[in-house]
Chains A and B, each alone.
Chain A
Amino acid sequence: MIPERDRVAVRPGEATIPPGHPWNRLPVIGAVAALVGIVACAILGAANPKQFFFSWLVSFLFFLSLALGALFYVLTQYAAQAGWGIVLRRIGETTFAMLPVMAALFLPLLLGLHDLYEWSHADAAEHDALLRWKAPYLNVPFFLIRAAIYFGSWSFMAILYYRGSSGQDVTGDPGVSARLRRFAGPAIIVLALTQTFASVDWIMSLTPHWYSTMFGVYFFAGSFVGFIALLSVVASAMRGAGLLDTVISPEHLQDIGKLLFAFTVFWAYIAFSQFFLVWYANLPEETTWYRARMEGSWMTVSIFLMAGHFVAPFFYLIGRAVKRRGATLAIGGAWLLAMHFLDLYWQVMPTLHPEGLRPSLLDVAALVAIGGCFVAAASWLMRRQALVPLRDPRLAESLAFENV
């Protein structure tokens, strides 16, 4: 009724990174990191290509899942005609705009299909009844066609939504919001299907005898927690760096925190449900995957994941004050980003190292290489346009947003 903050618009000058601001150097910093990482990958990977491909896969999946989580976040904001999050939307748009970049970073994996995927060996399928039976789906040409479809549809959606939103900054046409809202419903369906099949292709098929019908949801849950964690870190860091500090308010931070809390619980719910059904039924072809993760040091990682990806953040994020302060929220977000990485590592690496946790320098090199590319490209995009959708019809609503 009587808003405490009566802002209705953001001046373009407030929503750009000013000249001389330290964030202007991020593209260069990211590019240098990428270069160092790629050189390290080349040197270390030449000696141990198998380890390189697995390390690259984990880091690729990590940043891909952040971009997919961002796409889902923005699509749901449009579909629900959400007003509160308009000031945060450009962070999501910049993140999902990395999907075409991720397509390029996928290419190195194509050189290592035989190192990664047992089913890609013709002789393996010949001597294995299950793999022979799955061969109509798990074969190299169809795998490549599917990957092209995934990246094609993701890039199409990313460009459609990115261009639509940045175009609205210029034209101010409210029809753009209505048009993107109409597309959002079908786009969510396309994203759900492609993301599910991609998780089956790239993670589940590492253990080709195993299957879980919940795996797609599990990957989605992780990707959404990952993106919201990234959003909390970026939004807090922006405020800390004096960018949008009068636009993004503690009210917005609290809502990010609520989403982070909710989807941490959702991740735990899905992760446990997947384990629970396999554990209860106790069928050999389903238990192999968990058995590998319940022995030796992988069991330690499993327990750490339960405590670190669910129990600790649950009690940390449950309070109100923690979610409303940038510093405390960002700590929770950074922790959950690390846990999301560990979750993917735990899904992928036992295939390569069934004997136990074997951290490698290549894990770090691949993370720095892909992360460097991601940060360089994203921060370069951020400098090119306003940090908030300046002429979105719901911007005033978002600026005045208050939690009740």
Chain B
Amino acid sequence: MPLLVPQLPKGPNYGILAEFATPADLYHACERVRDAGFTRWDAHTPFPVHGLDKAMGLRRSRLPWIVLAMGLTGAALGFALQWWVHASAYPLVISGKPFFAWPAMIPITFELGVLFAALGAVFGMLGLNRLPMHNHPLFRSKVFERVTDDAFFISIESWDPRFDPSGTGKLLESLGARNVELMESE
């Protein structure tokens, strides 16, 4: 999935929304949708369903690499800043230590490394999830309101190369969906 979709592609439909009765139905439907080769789709549940990421064939998140890069950047910045201040720009003798007293610089280096890594984790997560997003076409579905309560959904977006309004709907019905809805674009 691309990092950011600035606007929804043009077309009459947003995609198809299918409701499933139980997590098990959803889990197996996800496996079939994955095996059918769809790439632009998602599953929606009221609570985490164990192993659903594998059933959907999701790749591992790139977030750890963002966190690592940010953490190393923060640590390097913290160390460089102190080196520049103490050993280069304003050399002062403090409690008889050398100008470049590296042990004294470790706590700040560590803290900045942690701070940058944490910021990288939070904002990286938001970015990869394309958040904040104030509205979503799926919210126009009345049935979809129950996604935070007791219903389980698969949505397949219309710009998926394998999407076909009637065929995809039939596929989802054959997988046990009790409610299949064609969502219109705005």
Interface residues of A (CB under 8 A from B): 1-4, 272, 275-276, 279-280, 282, 318, 320, 402, 404
Contacts and interface: CB of A to CB of B under 8 A. Distances in A.
A316 to B, nearest CB: 14
A2 B27 contact: yes
Residue of A2, A272, A275, A280 most packed against chain B (CB within 10 A):
A2
Contacts of A276: 103, 106-107
A1 B104 contact: no
Contact of A4 (B51, B60, B68): B51
Given A279-B103, A280-B103, A318-B68, A1 B95 contact: no
B68 A1 contact: no
A402 B51 contact: yes
Contacts of A1: 23-24, 27, 49-52
B32 to A, nearest CB: 14
Given A1-B51, A2-B50, A280-B95, 10 more contacts: A1-B49, A2-B49, A2-B51, A4-B54, A272-B106, A276-B103, A280-B103, A282-B95, A282-B96, A320-B64
Interface string B109-145: 0000000000000000000000000000000000000
B147 to A, nearest CB: 17
Given A318-B68, A402-B50, A2 B103 contact: no
Nearest to A275: B103
A171 B69 CA distance: 53
Contacts of A2: 23-24, 27, 49-51
Contacts of B48: 404
Nearest to A281: B95
Contacts of A272: 103, 106
Nearest to B64: A320
Interface residues of B, number: 18
Interface string B129-165: 0000000000000000000000000000000000000
A3 B50 contact: yes
Interface in B21-53: 23-24, 27, 48-52
14 contacts: A1-B50, A1-B51, A1-B52, A2-B23, A2-B51, A3-B51, A4-B51, A276-B106, A279-B103, A280-B95, A282-B95, A282-B96, A402-B51, A404-B50
Contacts of A279: 103
A268 B106 CA distance: 12
Contacts of B23: 1-2
Contacts of A320: 60, 64
A3 B54 CA distance: 11
Interface in B75-123: 95-96, 103-104, 106-107
A45 B75 CA distance: 49
Contacts of B68: 318
A280 B106 CA distance: 12
A4 B52 CA distance: 11
A320 B63 CA distance: 13
Contacts of A404: 48, 50
The 9 closest A-B pairs by CB, nearest first: A1-B50, A1-B49, A1-B23, A279-B103, A2-B27, A276-B103, A2-B51, A4-B51, A272-B106
Contacts of A3: 50-51
A268 to B, nearest CB: 10
Contacts of A282: 95-96
B94 to A, nearest CB: 10
Contacts of B107: 276
A320 B95 CA distance: 44
B86 to A, nearest CB: 14
A281 to B, nearest CB: 9
A280 B107 CA distance: 13
Nearest to B110: A269
Nearest to B28: A2
A107 to B, nearest CB: 41
B57 to A, nearest CB: 14
A2 B64 CA distance: 26
Nearest to B106: A272
B16 to A, nearest CB: 24
Nearest to A318: B68
A318 B48 CA distance: 26
A129 B22 CA distance: 78
Residue of B24, B52, B103 most packed against chain A (CB within 10 A):
B103
A356 B54 CA distance: 56
A325 to B, nearest CB: 16
A313 to B, nearest CB: 16
Contacts of A402: 50-51
A83 to B, nearest CB: 14
Contacts of B54: 4
Residue of B49, B51, B52 most packed against chain A (CB within 10 A):
B51
Nearest to B45: A1
Nearest to B48: A404
A402 to B, nearest CB: 7
Contacts of B27: 1-2
A390 to B, nearest CB: 25
